[in-house]
A and B are shown apart, each in its own frame.
Chain A
Amino acid sequence: MHEWALADAIVEAACSLLNERRAKRIALLNVVIGSLQSADREVLKFALTELFKSRGIKVEELRLNEEEALLRCRLCLKIWKLEDLDIPDDVKEAVHFIPEVIHAYVRCLNCGSQDLEIISGRGVYIASMEL
């Protein structure tokens, strides 16, 4: 599953900070799941839990917060939600792997520009981490 690779990236980043602080415990880990990447929440949670466990890291609280994907046209400044854009399933699958490929498929519904900016909900990232 692709979610395992995303989880692995998060664990590597977190462990790199933990190593710097010589810590083995995370009090609170806040992870954001951007809806554009449509990562499976349960698979991601399971992968994070297993990968942290395999590294001997204790995570007291893991929060996964979903973030709505919004795109703004750089030309007419209109803001679009993902559901406004009516994206076919095969395109969603491609965007799941590389969110930026949405630029190949989507145009602003107002002016037709392809110069769209993903202003939120792009992908998976660590929002904050408390030790």
Chain B
Amino acid sequence: MDLKNPAIMKRLEGIERIIAVISGKGGVGKTLIASAMALTIAKIGFPSGLLDMDFTNSSCHLVLGVDVSKEKPIEDIGILPVKVHGVEFMSVAFYSRGEALPLRGVEIDNIFRELLIITRWSKLKALILDTPSGFGDVILNITTYLPRAEFIAVTTPDTLSLETLKRLAGTYMSGKISGVIVNMSYKSIRSSIEKMGFKVLAEIPRYNDLEGCIGNVDRFMKTGFAEKIEETVQKVLD
């Protein structure tokens, strides 16, 4: 018997909204968007959290500039997330030292549940989940274990990325999608997305200055990208 559901529910009961940033294709900017959303929510005065659920290749800590070999969550009747620029942050990278973690489905499932039952979040306005690409174990686990989680889907205007969004529209998860962010936008695809039945939260152009801001939150939050995310967060929280 391994019934961790009730414990997971209890751990998350102080969190108003759980928002998973998802996409069918990789390289669309999920990690930057998830990190920027969590930082923005904190910046505008609400308690926020960020949980990196890309267990095999965690990278939110790189965006936030957290040295996972030095900073560690504190053990206190569970684990207290690390506070970064006002954001409560948790990642398996604290325990894998940021190394690649080759995992199969059952192992991903175990980490998913373990992290959720041991992490003690404060009362949060929103917990942002960064997820791996595709509709695999983590996304299925979110729908199973976190039924009140909502999804924000990320796409680029590229055909292949847009096609995966169309596929998502045909799944049972489509009802959980509260909106779509088009990232690295070079043409408007708003009408195509609306035809799929999704709300467009933002069309964010490509910003070439982002690469130099990875790991430097102060600079990252002064970019045009962060401004666009702030507009998006206001819409999401309204």
| A residues neighboring B (CB under 8 Å) | 1-2, 4-6, 8-9, 12-13, 15-17, 94-95, 97-101, 103-105, 114-115, 117-118, 122-123, 125-129
> B95 contacts which chain A residues (CB < 8 A)?
94-95, 97-98, 101
State the interface size on chain B (CB cutoff 8 A). Answer: 31
| A9 vs chain B, min Cβ distance (A) | 4
Query: In the complex, what residue of chain A is closest to B100 when comparing beta carbons?
Result: A104
Kindly list chain B residues whose C-beta atoms are within 8 Å of the C-beta of A126: 1-3
Q: Which residues of A contact B5 (CB under 8 A)?
A: 13, 16
A100:B111 contact, CB within 8 angstroms:
yes
A100 touches B107 (CB 8 A): yes
For the complex, give the distance between the alpha carbons of A5 and B101 in Å.
Answer: 24
> How far, in Å, is A95 (CB) from chain B's closest CB?
8
Contact A98 B115 (CB under 8 A): yes
- Closest B residue to A5 by CB, please name it: B78
20 CB contacts below 8 A, A to B, read: A5-B118, A12-B7, A12-B10, A13-B1, A13-B6, A16-B5, A16-B6, A17-B3, A99-B110, A99-B114, A100-B55, A100-B103, A100-B107, A104-B101, A114-B102, A123-B114, A125-B2, A126-B1, A126-B2, A129-B1
A95: chain B residues within 8 A (beta carbon): 95
B:1-29 near A, CB below 8 Å: 1-7, 10
Tell me the chain B residues, 132-154 only, with Cβ under 8 Å from chain A: none
Whether B102 lies near A13 (C-beta < 8 A) is no
Nearest A residue to B77 via CB reads: A4
Q: In the complex, what residues of B have CB within 8 A of residue A97's CB?
A: 79, 95, 114, 118
Q: B110: which of A6, A15, A17, A122 is its contact (CB, 8 Å)?
A: A122
Chain A at the B interface: SS class: helix
Contact indicator A104/B114 (Cβ below 8 Å): no
Question: B interface vs A, CB < 8 Å?
Answer: 1-7, 10, 55, 75, 77-79, 92, 95-97, 99-104, 107, 110-111, 114-115, 117-118, 120
* CB atoms of A5 and B117 under 8 A apart: yes
> In the bound complex, what is the Cα–Cα distance between A118 and B79 (angstroms)?
24
**Which residues in B have their C-beta under 8 angstroms from that of A1?**
75, 77
A52 → chain B closest CB, angstroms: 14
Whole-angstrom CA separation of A56 from B195 in the bound complex:
55
